[in-house]
Amino acid sequence: MFSYTSHQGYPEGSTNYDYDIFEKLPDGSIVWIACICGMGNAEKWLRELGSKSNNDFFALNHKDGTAPAIPPGKSRATTG
């Protein structure tokens, strides 16, 4: 049998949660982007989106609306 370890130290069960990904536009408005399954996948989406846009991105736990311990997607304008 294969043995699997938890993903990068994410909280137990976090790979089963859905996360809504949002984009914050320059005018302050918020746009929903996608619903992603798993904290690791949500983190990948945030990094990818943040690397291609000057806007900021963040994720919320779909189940209870809390912000997970995922760093927000950093925009290119703030990473320099």
Strand order in the sheet with 18-24: 30-37, 18-24, 56-61
Give Rg (Cα) of the chain. Answer: 14
Residue 79 covered by a domain? no
Residue 27: count other Cβ atoms within 10 Å of its Cβ. Answer: 5
Contact 22, 31 (CB under 8 A): yes
Residue type for 2, please?
A: F
Q: How many domains does the chain have?
A: 1
Range of the domain at 19: 15-68
Residue 33 covered by a domain? yes
pTM of the predicted protein model: 0.68
Residue 13, phi-psi category: left (phi > 0), alpha (psi -120 to 50), beta (remainder): left
Instruction: Work out the average pLDDT over 52-59.
Output: 90
| pLDDT score recorded for residue 32 | 94
